[in-house]
A and B are shown apart, each in its own frame.
Chain A
Amino acid sequence: MTEFFQSLGLNYEFAWFTATIAGVLLIALPLMLAVAMVIYVDRKVWAAINLRRGPNVVGPFGLLQSFADGLKVFLQETIIPSAANKGIFILAPIVTFTVALAAWAVIPFDAGVVLANINVGLLYILAISSLSVYGVVMSGWASNSKYPFFSAMRAAAQMISYEVSIGFILVCIVLFAGTFNLTGIVLGQEAFGLGLINAYVVHPLIFPIWVMFFISCLAETQRVPFDLTEAESELVAGYQTEYSSMSFALFWLGEYANILLMCSLNTLLFFGGWLPPLNIDLIPWFDIPGIIWFLLKTFFFFFMFSWVMATVPRYRYDQLMRLGWKVFLPLSLFFIVVISGYLMATGHFGGAA
């Protein structure tokens, strides 16, 4: 895109600057639209599994429900509790929202369609997702109210615990791909399974770590069954209890942007990203643009997130910690050893490095 702006007569630096800003907007605005629609999908799937109708009043099939909610939230009054720590109270939702958007900078939507194709893309994702805990912790502390505070402490412990196992799982994938670059990881999956299937997940050593990754993603984004930070039967609404109006909406948007990010990570790391499922040209699916495949797979994972939300009851907090530290951590460490051994034995250091 830089070349396009250079052709308009800008010098290189300003062309690069303009191109980056345009790229940011090109990712962020559709993402916000996607978040609005995904909230609707979430509620519809949940309703369908509960044999309800779900949102069906605003617009055709209730499609505009999220926008109506957004408008309502815009028009509300912003309430700041008098005992709250004002600066941090206002900063917290902004941090959540910004961090949720920042991670999308390195997500490749198609070959070459990525804002920042950096060498350490996967580490960047890990770094940014480890920041998302701050929004929750800051809001919980700044609200100066006991339920948000409990929620903040739970969130801090929970996200640190599951980050450890996510980190180890990502190491396994990096070992297979031989690169931290997300585009490289996707390209490494081309014709990976029997020269036919474009996905890492078909490998018998990777399938179990994908299952662990999916569960850890649920915990990392605080989705059911690990939504203990906003367990309404115990903590009112958790860290969001004291928030209203736009600051509440920012939490909401950030949360769903994070969920979409985790779904896209599932797609990129295990299910071949923008590549079609099979590497044969029987059906003309190489003519379908890669971004369509990417979005289809991502929304499939979002459907799985909703499915889990509608079917599984909430975990107890000590069980959550036990699962993280006593089950996932040893298992993922074990898989690192096994996968390194497998790669050493077979000499397969694959990927398009």
Chain B
Amino acid sequence: MIQTIAFYLFAVLVIASAVMVIMSRNPVHSVLWLILAFFNAAGLMVLVGAEFIAMLLVIVYVGAVAVLFLFVVMMLDIDFAELRAGFIKNFPLGIAIAAILLAELVLGIGAYRVGAIELGTPDGASAPLLDRSNIESIGALLYRDYIFLFEAAGIILLVAMVGAIVLTHRKGPADARGQQDIGKQNRRRPEEATVMKQPGIGKGVDL
């Protein structure tokens, strides 16, 4: 019974917070609702026994991605009148996307009515239930069975990262951009930075 209560609690909260993401007027509130949605989705994952995926969802999406979202959105200065003007312009596009989503939903529910898909292996046998933890199974899949695809995906991400750095990194005279040489700063001693002066009474100091 507790599972049922927990499922409905998480499911209702996911849907409600997802609705609030698009309904709230303040973008920061939107991001915070999005975080709540992620969190409840992680709860649902725990309920189906995928605790590793749930933790990854929280660590990656809530802990890193959403923080960066929030970081950017917090600093936005949004003109709501302008946003509403854009709403009329993009209205037909929005209608088209909504229609596509509705069609997909109808299709999905229709397919579900016909019967659940048999999850199985390519040769037609049903998928075996393994006596292993999530982490071991995922590790075996990623690092043994699909190692080539996994490494290829990793290399693509690495290339993308290097590309982003190359595109945004500007090389130039270090001092002009105010860049600091930490080693130089650490080597500095009081003798180079300060001087002792003994000014006479009523006289200034030459610096």
> In this assembly, does B119 line the interface, its C-beta being within 8 Å of a C-beta of chain A?
no
Q: How far is the CB of B82 from chain A (nearest CB, A)?
A: 21
Contact between B59 and A318, CB atoms less than 8 A apart: no
* A156 adjacent to chain B (CB < 8 Å): yes
Q: How far is the CA of A180 from the CA of B133 in the complex (A)?
A: 11
- CB of A52, distance to nearest CB on chain B (Å): 28
Which interface residue of A13, A118, A123, A138 has the most chain B CB atoms within 10 A? Answer: A123
Interface size on A, residues (CB 8 A): 33
A134–B61 alpha-carbon span in the complex (Å): 13
- CB of B63 within 8 A of CB of A127, answer yes
Q: Let me know if B146 is at the binding interface, CB within 8 A.
A: no
Collect the chain A residues with CB atoms within 8 Å of residue B101's CB.
none
Q: How far is the CB of A316 from chain B (nearest CB, A)?
A: 9
A160 at interface, CB cutoff 8 A: yes
In the complex, the answer to whether B55 meets A127 with C-beta atoms within 8 Å is: yes
* A residues less than 8 Å from B2 (CB atoms): 13, 16-17
Interface residues of B in 101-120 (CB under 8 A from A): none
CA distance A180 to B179 in the complex (A): 42
**Contact: B28 with A133, CB < 8 Å?**
no
Contact A137 B59 (CB under 8 A): no
A-B contact count (CB 8 A): 77
Min distance, Cβ A295 to any Cβ of chain B, angstroms:
27
Q: Is the CB of A131 within 8 A of B180?
A: no
Give the chain A neighbours of B59 by CB distance below 8 A. Answer: 123, 126-127, 130, 167
Among listed B12-20, B66-74, B166-174, interface-contacting one: B66-74
In whole angstroms, how far apart are the Cα atoms of A152 and B74 in the complex? 10
Chain A residues with Cβ under 8 A from B75's Cβ? 153
Q: Return chain B residues, CB-CB under 8 Å to A318.
A: 180
Among candidates A131, A133, A157, A159, residue contacting B58 with C-beta atoms closer than 8 Å: A131
Contact B133 A130 (CB under 8 A): no
A50 within 8 A of B: no
For the complex, is B44 an interface residue (Cβ under 8 Å from A)?
no
Distance in angstroms between the alpha carbons of A202 and B67 in the assembled complex: 36
Residues facing A in B1-59 (CB within 8 A) are 1-2, 26, 28-29, 32, 35, 51-52, 55-56, 58-59
Shortest Cβ distance from residue A244 to the other chain B in the assembled complex, whole angstroms: 23
Quote the shortest CB–CB distance from A169 to chain B (angstroms). 15
Our pick among A16, A88, A153 for the contact of B32 (Cβ within 8 Å) is A88
Contact code string A103-145 (vs B, CB < 8 Å = 1, else 0): 0000000000000001110011011101101100110010000
Complex Cα distance, B53 from A64, in Å, reads 45
Query: Would B35 and A134 count as touching, CB distance under 8 A?
Result: yes
B16 nearest CB across to chain A (Å): 16
For the complex, give the distance between the alpha carbons of A13 and B6 in Å: 13
Given A130-B62, A141-B74: A118 touches B67 (CB 8 Å cut-off) = no
Residue of B nearest to A126 (CB): B59
User: Are A119 and B32 within 8 A (Cβ)?
Assistant: no
Question: Is B201 an interface residue when CB atoms closer than 8 A count as contact?
Answer: no
Give the complex CA separation of A322 and B2 in angstroms: 48
Chain A residues with CB below 8 A from B74, complex form: 137, 141, 149, 152-153
Tell me the bound Cα distance from A16 to B3 in angstroms.
13
A163/B71 in contact, CB under 8 A: no
A133 touches B133 (CB 8 A): no
Contact B51 A120 (CB under 8 A): yes
With A134-B35, A156-B71, A163-B64 known, 12 other A-B pairs at CB within 8 A are A85-B28, A88-B29, A123-B56, A124-B55, A126-B55, A127-B58, A128-B58, A130-B58, A130-B59, A141-B70, A159-B67, A322-B182
> Which 8 A/B pairs are nearest by Cβ-Cβ distance?
A130-B63, A127-B58, A123-B55, A127-B59, A141-B74, A120-B55, A156-B71, A127-B55
Contacts A/B (CB < 8 Å), 18 sampled: A88-B28, A119-B133, A123-B52, A127-B55, A130-B62, A130-B63, A130-B64, A134-B35, A134-B67, A137-B70, A138-B32, A141-B28, A141-B74, A159-B67, A160-B63, A160-B68, A180-B135, A319-B182
